[in-house]
Amino acid sequence: EPEVTQTPSHQVTQMGQEVILRCVPISNHLYFYWYRQILGQKVEFLVSFYNNEISEKSEIFDDQFSVERPDGSNFTLKIRSTKLEDSAMYFCASSETSGYSNQPQHFGDGTRLSIL
Amino acid sequence: AQSVTQLDSQVPVFEEAPVELRCNYSSSVSVYLFWYVQYPNQGLQLLLKYLSGSTLVKGINGFEAEFNKSQTSFHLRKPSVHISDTAEYFCAVSRPTGFQKLVFGTGTRLLVSP
C-alpha cells in the first residue's frame, strides 16, 4: 500500500537555526497537510496546501513557518528560526481529494524535532 | 469551530475483554468523524470514518464506532481486545466541505494486559 514518507525521523537543531522537514506524499494525492504534536498534547493542524498554494493555516503557522512543493514529489516544512517551543513531532499527511470525497488523510510516521 | 473531547486519557483492560473509548464533539455544522490509531513510534493510521448514512461504522482490526447525533458522540468499541491493540487512539472531526482540516482530541491510551 502506498505510504507517506517523512525524513528525517529525528532532527536535532540548535535554537535559532533553520530546519527543513521533508515529506513525500502519496503520488496521486493532491492535498497536503502538516500537523504537529507537542509531547503529551493533542495533534494540531498547522497548514494545508493545494495547487501550489496554502489553502488554510492555523494561528501556530506564523511568519517563521513556510511550506513548499519544490518538485513533483516532495512537500517541505521550513522553520526559519527555531525556538525551544517548536520541539514536537511533525506529521505530514496527504489526501486524494477533499470536501465531498470519501478519501481520508494518510499520515507519515512523523519527524521528531528537538530544539536545544 | 469544531472541538473534540476524549474524556479518558488512559484505559487499562485485560486481553479478550470488551472496550469502549469515548469521544464527544462540538460543532455548529455537520461534521465528518474519524478514529485514528497511533502505535509506538509510528504515524496515525485510520481505523474508521463516519461521513453519512448508517450510524454504525465498522473499521479495521475489529473496531466499530457509533455516531450519535443527539449526544454528539462517536464512541469506539471492540468486543474482544488483543495485546496488539495497545496504542494511542485519537478521535477527530472535520468539516464536510472544503479542505479536510482535522481537529483532534487529546487521545486515549489503551493498555491491554494479559
Instruction: Report the pLDDT value the prediction gives residue B64, as an integer from 0 to 100.
Output: 97
CA dihedral B19, B58, A104, B31 (to 10 degrees): -80
Model pLDDT for residues A49-80, shown as the tens digit of each residue:
988 899 999 999 999 999 999 887 899 999 99
Instruction: Report the pLDDT value the prediction gives residue A32, as an integer from 0 to 100.
Output: 93
Q: Which of B43, B101, B105 sits opposite A109 (nearest CB)?
A: B43
Q: Flag if A48 and B99 touch (Cβ within 8 Å).
A: yes
Instruction: Report the pLDDT value the prediction gives residue A46, as an integer from 0 to 100.
Output: 97
Give the minimum alpha-carbon distance from B104 to chain A in angstroms, rounded to a whole number.
6
Does B1 contact A at CB distance below 8 Å? Answer: no
Average pLDDT, chain B: 93
Q: Which of A33, A42, A104 sits opposite B104 (nearest CB)?
A: A42
Rounded distance, CA A14 to CA A22, Å? 18
Instruction: Report the pLDDT value the prediction gives residue A100, as an integer from 0 to 100.
Output: 54
- Closest residue in chain A to residue B102, using alpha carbons only: A45
Rounded distance, CA A52 to CA A26, Å? 16
Measured between beta carbons, the chain B residues lying within 8 angstroms of A106 are 46
Instruction: Report the pLDDT value the prediction gives residue B100, as an integer from 0 to 100.
Output: 74
CATH code, domain with B97? 2.60.40.10
Residues contacting residue B10 through CB under 8 Å, at least 6 positions apart: B108, B109, B111
Domain architecture of chain A: domains with CATH: 5-98 (2.60.40.10)
Name the residue range of residue B11's domain.
3-113
Q: Flag if B43 and A41 touch (Cβ within 8 Å).
A: no
Instruction: Report the pLDDT value the prediction gives residue A41, as an integer from 0 to 100.
Output: 86
The domain total for chain B is: 1
Does B89 contact A at CB distance below 8 Å? Answer: no
Residues of chain A whose pLDDT is less than 50?
none
Measured between beta carbons, the chain B residues lying within 8 angstroms of A95 are 100
B14 within 8 A of B112, measured Cβ to Cβ? yes
B47 within 8 A of B36, measured Cβ to Cβ? yes
**pLDDT (average), residues B89-114:** 89
Question: Beta-strand (E) ranges in chain B?
Answer: 3-5, 10-14, 19-21, 24-26, 32-38, 44-50, 56-58, 64-68, 73-78, 87-94, 103-104, 108-113
- Count of pairs with CB atoms under 8 A, one residue in A, one in B: 63
Does B100 contact A at CB distance below 8 Å? Answer: yes
Task: Name the pLDDT band for B99 (thresholds 50, 70, 90).
Answer: low
Does B98 contact A at CB distance below 8 Å? Answer: yes
Model pLDDT for residues B38-91, shown as the tens digit of each residue:
998 788 999 999 988 889 999 999 999 999 999 999 999 999 999 999 999 999
Rounded distance, CA A50 to CA A3, Å? 19
Identify residue B65 by its one-letter amino acid code.
A
